[in-house]
Amino acid sequence: MQNIESHATNLVDVVYGNERLQFDDPSENWFEATKIYRTSMAWDAPGVAALLRSETLQKIATHASKRFDDLPLISLPDPLNSNVTLDEVIENRRSIERFQGSSVSLEQLSTVLQKSYGLVERPEGPRRPIPSGGALYPLDLFVIVNKVDSLEKGIYHFDPYRKGLTKLGEYSEQGFMEIMLQEESVQGFSFSVVVSASFWRSRFKYGHRSYRFVFLEAGHVMQNMILLATALNINSRPYGGFIDDELMKMIGGYNGVDDAPIYTLVAGI
């Protein structure tokens, strides 16, 4: 019993980095701020009532995505169908540590993007293939193209409503590898999908709780992408660790507070 207590004490030291616990821990403060209490629901989720009363807000909320209408649109081909069963995909999925440097087809990339977070027309209105808090869809997918047939190397934004890509600029492959902190593992990749969050799209309705919803949604999208990649015989690996400010600077357009990259898929053959 004494050994267990000693081990637990050591773990506390490792987690908090001090012999004494701190009473103003940022991680604990964040988790506390995102809790919902029955007695304070009116201000824990301030936008719920406002959204129900406003048809304008409801209309805006159904068209969640960054738009780059001033840039040429590259239309994506229809997604491919796979004969692989879900059981097979789940069994075969692996986080790959090396890529061979081969290219993937534009049809394969289109399938990963459209079937993971593309538009699905339903009687109740446009939706996506994943659950989203309040159907607000606060995420955007940016694609770092390295070796995709029929696409120039560069940085693209996926437009789910127009089913296409808009090219935003260029990037350095070596710089991207350094940003991902796994240069050997990333080398030779075909494409990467940077999952980015516009936190305000969810926060106006759900307050601080929205951050939980946003991160959960990113997980749903990533799971879709890695399973789709597996079904298409594309190797992949999700990354949660990267140099935030350098990735934001590479893609551009972020302020790091209202919107930021939160999750990254690296894929290839």
Q: What is the CATH classification number for the domain harbouring 229?
A: 3.40.109.10
What is the number of structural domains in the chain?
Answer: 1
In a domain, 82, yes or no: yes
In a domain, 37, yes or no: no
In a domain, 21, yes or no: no
In a domain, 263, yes or no: yes
Quote the CA–CA distance of 247 and 179 in Å, as a whole number: 6
pLDDT, residue 56, reads 75
Nearest CA to 240 out of 208, 194, 197 is that of 194
In a domain, 27, yes or no: no
pLDDT, residue 51, reads 75
Domain that holds residue 236: 65-268
Give residue 205's Cα distance to chain centre. Answer: 20
Those residues whose C-beta lies under 8 Å from the C-beta of residue 62, and which sit 6 or more positions away, are: 125, 126, 135
In a domain, 181, yes or no: yes
pLDDT, residue 11, reads 65
In a domain, 239, yes or no: yes
Quote the CA–CA distance of 216 and 240 in Å, as a whole number: 13
The per-residue pLDDT for range 117-130, each reduced to its tens digit, is 999 988 887 899 99
In a domain, 198, yes or no: yes
Length of the chain: 269
pLDDT, residue 40, reads 84
Query: Is this model's pTM higher than 0.95 or not?
Result: no
DSSP one-letter code for 161: T
Nearest CA to 58 out of 49, 68, 46 is that of 49
Write out the chain's pLDDT in tens, 269 residues: 455 555 555 666 666 666 565 667 888 899 999 998 888 877 777 777 777 777 777 776 667 789 999 999 999 999 999 989 999 999 999 999 999 999 999 999 999 999 999 999 888 878 999 999 988 999 999 999 999 999 999 999 999 999 999 999 999 999 999 999 999 999 999 999 999 999 999 998 888 999 999 999 999 999 999 999 999 999 999 999 999 999 999 999 999 999 999 999 999 99
Nearest CA to 218 out of 261, 267, 160, 165 is that of 261
